[in-house]
Amino acid sequence: MELGAEMVAEQPNMRKRYPHQLSFGANNPVIALNEKEAAKIFSFDTRSDIGSEAAKLKFANAINSLVVTFLRLDYDEQNSWDLLVMERLYALDYRSIEIEKRELWMDVFEDELKQLHAAGFVHRDIKRPSNIPGERFDNILLTASGLRLIDAGISALRQQVGDMLFAKYVELELQELAVFKAFFLNR
């Protein structure tokens, strides 16, 4: 990969930028690899684990297409980066889409989220806590094919956390879903 190790100089109150950077979540930057692939960089210790996140993405991808598609794990030798490679999504602005279409996409989003819950997957980050940088619904993208979820770093699988915690996470996610629905349809 020809990304270059240099980072853009840090601005006051801003993180360093990586070459081809798309975003920087709470823990990891995401870069564009090409027109079809993006990668989450794991270059330092974070609260998320690359193998765990890859496994959760694969699990969710086997249920439906709501969560960004996992492609592979990779390594960039030039920069010493572990990479979680995913499909590259191109986001649309909600306000450019008619409300009737948004209502249909919202119905599909709710159905697919409930399918994931029924299968034992909960995203846990559709609405960011107020102390985490970024917009409150940064992990939900509107694409040409509908709403999609990104960043499964803190997602949970029922088989790993047990029924009681899983049920609590689902309950909280459904509350966040109601807030997102109002935001998405009334924006």
* pLDDT above 90 as % of the chain: 71
40 vs 53: CA distance, rounded Å: 10
Mean pLDDT of 81-100: 94
pLDDT of 45 strictly over 50: yes
pLDDT of 48 strictly over 80: no
Length, in residues, of the chain: 187
Superfamily of domain 94-186: Transferase(Phosphotransferase) domain 1 (1.10.510.10)
What is the pLDDT at residue 23? 87
Most confident of 8-12, 22-26, 138-142: 138-142
What is the pLDDT at residue 129? 56
- Could you give the count of Cα atoms lying within 13 Å of 38 in the half-sphere of its Cβ? 19
Q: Which residue has the higher pLDDT, 7 or 117?
A: 117
pLDDT of 47 strictly over 80: no
Domain boundaries, the chain: 94-186
Q: How far is CA 183 from CA 23, 127, 149, 176, 186, in A?
A: 22, 11, 16, 11, 5
Give φ, ψ of 22 to 5 degrees.
Answer: -100, -45
Mean pLDDT of 147-166: 95
Mean pLDDT of 18-45: 88
pTM: 0.86
pLDDT of 11 strictly over 70: no
